[in-house]
Chains A and B, each alone.
Chain A
Amino acid sequence: MEQTQSQDGQSQSQRQTFDEMWGHTQDLRSPYARFHDWFQDEDPARLQKKQREAEEVFRLTGITFNVYGRAEAAERLIPFDIIPRIIAGREWSKLARGIEQRVRAINAFLYDIYHRQEIIRAGRLPAEMIAKNEAFLPQMIGVEPPGGVYTHIVGIDLVRTGDDDFFVLEDNARTPSGVSYMLENRETMLQMFPELFSKNRVQPVSNYPKMLRRSLAACAPPQCTGIPVVAVLTPGIYNSAYYEHSFLADKMGVELVEGHDLRVIDGRVAMRTTQGYKAIDVLYRRVDDEYLDPLNFNPDSALGIPGIMDVYRAGGITIANAPGTGIADDKAIYSYMPDIVEFYTGEKAILQNVPTHRCSDPKTLQYVLDNLKELVVKEVHGSGGYGMLIGPTSSKRELSEFRAKLQSRPANYIAQPTLALSTVPILTKAGLAPRHVDLRPFVLVSPNGIEITPGGLTRVALKKGSLVVNSSQGGGTKDTWVLEE
């Protein structure tokens, strides 16, 4: 059922799926050795009980998300699986180098795109990829973001197909979410299985909020005097990621603000406090570009701050991530990423892209239509697993519906081969069972450098055989361990 095209065009079947505990050949892989010993001595009933306890902890803590597109905006838990995903230190080191290189390139690309556009002059990227792209923000042309940083926080979605084969599935350069799950998952595991952490030397993740605050403060705008005042901007308590917004503000020790708490006063963005208005230097916004400033973007936005873009351009505030970064994680641009990395770093990309067919090209479109059953088709601007087609697991009707969509708006879609995503064990009633996963490491960028938290958020498709890991589509999460080298 899971088919993939290998380099030489041969089809590989599911039995060759790479399992991160057992490899291709049922030999226990070394990162899992100590876990395996521990697991063998565990009472299955105790683990089931722990699994239920974990859910109770999440519910009590209020680690919930709101599902869009439902009549009742009910709060739901993202299922958490207690079996850790374990990555060896040396595997991680290599990954981290690749991630750093890619993130460096993304920032250089953004600077270039909003300034001289050398990459287009050099003929490495077609001009229409930018000019006709909705994610390109003309308001950002010529703007100097404080510290030269566009993407203060990046999430790089990775998938694995073999011992040494990682692919970038997607770059998240706008407002990547999920880091609170990474942190809470670890907290929960530390509480429930202290003995496992004594047996394994796991690289810590808990200093992420501290690093985030330091990283944001390092990007303070020219008009900032004294210690930079940082705040997190949220659309409000009914937003699907509100828990994360409040979590991060809490852990960083900064204010969590909404648009109506803010106002432009004397050329600064200021928040209404019990003692009057107080200027903000760095705003970590979790509000999309289009809602940020009703005067400069969507005039109907009630979430934004009228005039914030003018303050931004005058160096009165840092907006993180910078407006207009969406051009870098656009799925059409994605296919050019290997070129982009090479153009700005002068090196070959360490991390591979998934081969991507741009349906805007008529010949490619024909190929995609002919091979629809083997491919994954995604909307160029979509996210969250909405509006995508997974050929191998789709019904005839879904396939024909998508065929019609592709024909009417080909430029709106890209297609990729169905990768044999790696599996890791989850706890089921019948014991351990393999499920497909991806990985979103979180990367911080400041003038002082690029910092990557070891591990990241592992999303897991809880349904047997499923390749969809998105939480909005029934996926779960796991704690992700990077062992000390």
Chain B
Amino acid sequence: MLGKTAGGLYWMFRYLERSENTARLVEAGQRIALTRSSSAEDEWLSILQTAAVDVGYMEKYEEVTKEQAIDWMLRDKDNPSSVLSVVGAARDNARLVRTALTREVWESVNQCWMVLKEALARKVSERDLPEVLSLIRQRAAFVRGAMHGTMLRNDIYDFARIGTFIERADNTARILDTKYYVLLPSAFSVGSAVDNVQWESILRSVSAEGGFRMVYGQDVKPREIAQFLILDKRMPRSLAFCCDKIRDNLGYLVADYADRLPCHDMADQLGLNYMSHTVDEIFDHGLHEFIQDFLTATGSLGRQIEIDYRFTV
């Protein structure tokens, strides 16, 4: 396979994953805005930070408002991580790697782009927001479905999956990074209404409310949220789940190409360093430091994969 093709697949699926994650973040933000009257602006700022699009936003706008934040995240072409931008980038990458995709996958990406370009052609009104957000997630799900159902399990699939899980790990870690303070054990905040809203928002932004309830019941506790999002291997957006998938898919490449490269050691190390602790140990070590280190490590791993598999010259 061409190095360029491996890179195209990796980025195509990173971008698709990002479109879906951004839609989730906006949904969580909207939810908080609707259930809480004060300091909604702080909430949107934290959401912009989580999506790592706050710097660009502040260059364009003076203040943080809900309307502007939503517009920036969903459809602003100046924002390279807006849903419209990343869906366009995903499709461009799909065109680049068209020969590696089945017709079904290509058509689902192309349709995703056509439908969302239309849905995001104008500012999204508050009334239409839920429908548009669900459309974004639905379209990403169609691509994933087409991929699972029609693609060979070979190196093409591996690179697509690696891109998906690097992006997802990054996204979940960023949510934890911006919200870590509401998860810290504190005598004063236990069970306050404000915290409950924040905790639910965290779960909502990774579509984990239902899964969490199944495992832990109705009561939401910050320690358990951290446990669930960082270490629970059953939870498909947890850091541990993503780390396993990255390592698995890199492992298939080792078997396929009969060649072990530096990125494979890094992936093993990622699991050892971050996923072999208990949640209490993580809190003792410092949740914030833990997440920051994890983000740096996944970033380096992503860059090493690009080098080892010759994505670019």
Contact = CB atoms under 8 A, between A and B. Distances in A.
Interface string A271-291: 111111000000000000000
A255 B8 CA distance: 14
A255 B313 contact: no
Interface in A45-62: 59-62
A274 B111 CA distance: 29
A261 B3 contact: yes
Taking chain A's interface residues, is the majority helix, strand, or loop, or is none over half, making it mixed?
A: mixed
B313 A274 contact: no
Contact of B313 (A60, A250, A256, A272): A272
Nearest to A232: B99
B197 interface: no
Nearest to A260: B313
A59 B106 CA distance: 12
Nearest to A247: B98
B259 interface: yes
Interface in A244-283: 246-247, 249-250, 255-258, 260-261, 271-276
Interface in A3-25: none
Contact of B92 (A59, A237, A256): A237
Contact of A257 (B2, B92, B95, B111): B2
B6 interface: yes
Interface in B21-77: none
A242 B95 contact: yes
Contacts of A273: 1-3, 310
A184 to B, nearest CB: 11
Interface in B106-131: 106-107, 110-111, 114
A274 B1 contact: yes
B interface residue count range (under 10 / 10 to 19 / 20 to 34 / 35 or more) = 20 to 34
Interface in A458-485: none
B257 A250 contact: no
B2 A271 contact: yes
Interface in B84-102: 92, 95-96, 98-99
B249 to A, nearest CB: 13
Contact of A272 (B2, B96, B103, B106): B2
Interface string A97-124: 0000000000000000000000000000
B157 interface: no
B309 interface: yes
Interface string A188-230: 0000000000000000000000000000000000000000000
Nearest to B91: A62
B4 interface: yes
A302 B95 CA distance: 20
B257 A275 contact: yes
Given A61-B107, A261-B4, A274 B98 contact: no
A62 B4 contact: no
B200 interface: no
A60 B107 contact: yes
* The 6 A-B residue pairs with the shortest CB-CB distance in the complex, in nearest-first order: A246-B98, A250-B99, A274-B309, A272-B3, A237-B95, A249-B99
17 contacts: A59-B114, A60-B107, A60-B110, A61-B107, A62-B95, A62-B107, A237-B92, A247-B98, A250-B98, A255-B5, A256-B98, A257-B4, A261-B4, A272-B2, A273-B1, A274-B3, A274-B310
Given A255-B2, A255-B5, A256-B99, 5 more contacts: A246-B95, A261-B4, A271-B2, A272-B313, A273-B1
Interface of A: 59-62, 237, 242, 246-247, 249-250, 255-258, 260-261, 271-276
Interface of B: 1-6, 92, 95-96, 98-99, 103, 106-107, 110-111, 114, 155, 257, 259, 309-310, 313
